[in-house]
Amino acid sequence: MARAWWTTLAVVAALAIGVAGCGSSGSGTAVRRIALVAPYGSNEPQWTSRALGAVAGYRSQLAIRVDTIDASRTTDIRGLLEQASHAGNQLVIAHDSRYADVAEAVAADTKVPELVWGERPHAKKGLVGQITVQDKEGGYMAGVVAATSAITRRLAVIVLAEGSDWDTATWNRTAGGYVAGARSVDPGEQIRYVEVGQSSPTTPEALYAVTHRLLKAGSQFVLVLGGSATVGALRAIEDFRGENQYVGVIGDKAEVNKENIVLASILYDFKPAFREAVVDVRRGRFGQRPYALTLVDGGISVMTTGRTPGEATTAAEAAKTKLEEGQIRVPVTSTAEAVQALIAQRAQG
């Protein structure tokens, strides 16, 4: 039913607006309407909710209507993006890196700008904008928090490698930053790394079992990166109890943190990138530079909780200042092998 409604709307809108949705090169485009195409339940629990929050005030603040579209209800992502492009939107936010290839092709066909996740080195300026993330730096700060808070000197990292290649690389860079940050506090910190979901999506039950094994082996804090199955890790820590806590990513985990087991979270704030993209479409310079989530603009930050020792929060803030000033260089670990090598290198050194 929803698919039929979208198809009808697309035809009517195309007849009504003609070429009003052209790309943003030249003198710019009046942005009155945008679409947010997001995965809802098929990605990390707060990935979509934080994006919805980022655009919530657009009607009153920017005089922009936002169409929010649940892409988890269809396997035809290209068709969904095409319909959004033909429905009178001057910008489509393809809010999942798994959509990036298709979104780039749709932008070329429809001439409606698409904002995508990940580096797009060959994307046509004016039609495709790319969001990048200061991922390893966020991981470094979280590692500082965890190591400063740790009693057992044992940490763990779980990476869900079930998204796009860019997702996996991002999570592994974050994991490497976490290792480097933790070892900057305590060179003897023991860190276990597990990558799951390489061959098929991981279920919450499977991730529960992986997390439980790590906790049973002595890991105090578990950093979990990516995917809808992360709720399984939270449940495992809730059930295990004791001093074990969760280190998250994207959001504050308020919806699922009923037992107050979150030590810290690497927060993603989409507002700066989304707004910059809208402004650039209006000014005719969309896609001329990446839309980066950084420590400086607040796109990346580390949230501490009531379970976080005060000294850990202070240490993270000090690390943030040094990162911003370029005093700390965080190693780049885009693969599981690179993360494991970093762990082994520091453990032996």
- Domains, in order of start, for the chain: 2-133+270-293 (3.40.50.2300), 135-261+307-344 (3.40.50.2300)
Tokens of 59: 């009607």
Mean pLDDT of the chain: 90
Contact 194, 158 (CB under 8 A): yes
Measure the CA–CA gap between 120 and 99, rounded to whole angstroms. 12
Res 242: pLDDT = 79
Tokens of 265: 């979270």
Res 258: pLDDT = 65
> Over the stretch 234-263, which tens digit does the pLDDT of each residue have?
999 999 977 889 999 999 887 777 678 999
Q: What is the DSSP string of 271-286?
A: HHHHHHHHHHHHHT-T
> Over the stretch 91-139, which tens digit does the pLDDT of each residue have?
999 999 999 999 999 999 999 999 999 999 888 889 999 999 999 999 9
Res 255: pLDDT = 73
- Average pLDDT of the residues in 297-307: 94
In the predicted model, is pLDDT for residue 227 greater than 70?
A: yes
Q: At what angle do helices 165-185 and 336-348 cross, to 10 degrees?
A: 10
Res 10: pLDDT = 37
**Please, how many CA atoms are within 13 Å of residue 4, restricted to the half-sphere of its CB?**
1
